[in-house]
Amino acid sequence: MIDLHTHSTASDGSLTPTELARAGKAAGLTVMALTDHDCAKGLDEFLSETEQIGIRGVPGIELSAEVPSGQLHLVGLGFNHQDPRLRAAFEQMLGGRDARNHAMLAAFQENGIDLTYEEVAQYAGDELVSRVHFAQALIRRGLVKDLAEAFERYLGKGALCYRDRFRYSPAECVKLIREAGGIVIMAHPLSLEKDLSALEPRIAELRNAGICGMECFYSAYDTETTVALLRIAKRLNLTPSVGSDFHGTPKPTVFLGKLPVSTEIKDGLFRLLNATHAFSNRPLY
């Protein structure tokens, strides 16, 4: 089994990169990517552990791209995570996140909720502070019951305390990853547009910008949605991908190893990954 979309404590997951690799092994994964938000901080630890325990680790990242409507997340895979230009771009994105976090704190203050940075940051440890950590602080205070309510009322795009941040355009995200030897997959497509007839032309634009695949197998998608996305992928000549979007505690109903796919799907993904920097000297199966 494979999973090309997971998160660790380097962004907003609850398992360290080492713990995540071991959890993937226990779940029966043979190929697994760590795709933390806008950063590669956990990759060295993750790749070292996957090597030790005998599964193939894939260097990855999940980038938020600037779009006029909806939310677009792009998963970069197989790139050279030591590339200095890429690291500089990641630092710029993290700076944008930090500025947004303080703007959101100000918004909470303006709306009578005396949330502090220290209160939110305790859920992030020493790593990136994200909206999930804001949600955890709100849950602990009893202001919301769960992650979904926190995003609906306060943290989601257009919600009361949401504030935007710096993002690269989709084409810029693709260029960054490809120039570092990687490939780019569209994550959870329905976040961009829920109407499938309107979604397909938007995915076609992304294909023209250089993405080579899209997540059709995703933890939140039922069989009907998966089949519809597979049809879109076939029409657009995009490789179907599989990703749980595992976070651990923040998403308690999402598990590793629960998205088995056919040999045909795996072979298509392996062909893409074998052409990347990470697997140029030691291909996948």
Let me know if 22 is exposed, middle or buried by CB neighbors in 10 A (0-12, 13-18, 19+): middle
Among 3.40.50.150, 3.40.1280.10, 3.20.20.140, 3.40.50.300, what is the CATH number of 2-82+167-279?
Answer: 3.20.20.140
Domain ranges of the chain: 2-82+167-279, 91-155
pLDDT at 98: 86
Instruction: Indicate if the pLDDT at residue 125 is higher than 90.
Output: no
Output helix, strand, coil percentages for the chain, rounded to the nearest 5: 45, 15, 40
Question: What's the chain's average pLDDT?
Answer: 94
pLDDT at 126: 59
pLDDT at 170: 96
Instruction: Indicate if the pLDDT at residue 113 is higher than 90.
Output: yes
Non-local CB neighbours of 110 within 8 Å, separated by 6+ positions: none
- Residue keyed to tokens 């600037």: 66
Non-local CB neighbours of 71 within 8 Å, separated by 6+ positions: 64, 157, 191, 192
Residues 131-165 have pLDDT tens digits of 889 999 999 999 999 999 999 999 998 899 999 88
Instruction: Indicate if the pLDDT at residue 257 is higher than 90.
Output: yes
Non-local CB neighbours of 36 within 8 Å, separated by 6+ positions: 7, 8, 10, 11, 12, 13, 42, 61, 62, 128
Spelled out in words, what is the top-level CATH class assigned to the domain 91-155? mainly alpha
